[in-house]
Amino acid sequence: EVQLVESGGGLVQPGGSLRLSCAASGFTFSSYGMSWVRRAPGKGLEWVSFITSSFTIYYADSVKGRFTISRDNAKNSLFLQMNSLRAEDTAVYYCARGFAATWGQGTMVTVSS
């Protein structure tokens, strides 16, 4: 069974940092592009970042220069390093496989003083 499990969310002050992780199982992780997608409270979905199987990386303009996506194929894991966090980054963050055929359960990030 394909499974994605996010972790690392929490409460952080504006300007702070968090590192999200996504543990993947049930498929050949190295063969798939992987994404982070978020949903802010009361808002719609926003594609945050995407890393291909060959490590090409894309970011939404809203996070470019502040967030860094990475992957460790040996550990079947996806990461999102989030720096200089802002209140508008408050959201549930999901990792997703490929064109979001499979999603994790999400991890909540709250940026507030």
Partner 1 sequence: DVVMTQSPLSLPVTLGQPASISCRSSQSLVHSDGNTYLFWFQQRPGQSPRRLISKVSNRDSGVPDRFSGSGSGTDFTLKISRVEAEDVGVYYCMQGTHWPYTFGQGTKLDIK
Residues that bind partner 1 (CB under 8 A): 35, 37, 39, 44-47, 50, 58-61, 94, 99-106
CB 80, min distance to partner 1, A:
15
Distance, CA of 95 to CA of 35 (rounded, Å): 6
* Residue closer to partner 1 (CB basis): 16 or 46: 46
Nearer to partner 1, 19 or 64 (CB): 64
Tell me how far, at minimum, the Cβ of 36 lies from partner 1, in Å.
11
3-state secondary structure the chain: CCEEEEECCEEECCCCCEEEEEEEECCCHHHCCEEEEEECCCCCEEEEEEECCCCCEEECCCCCCCEEEEEEHHHCEEEEEECCCCHHHCEEEEEEECCCCEECCCEEEEECC
Nearer to partner 1, 71 or 97 (CB): 97
Instruction: Name the minimum Å distance from CB 47 to partner 1.
Output: 4
CB of 14 to partner 1, least distance (A): 24
The residue among 5 and 16 lying less far from partner 1, judged by its C-beta, is: 5
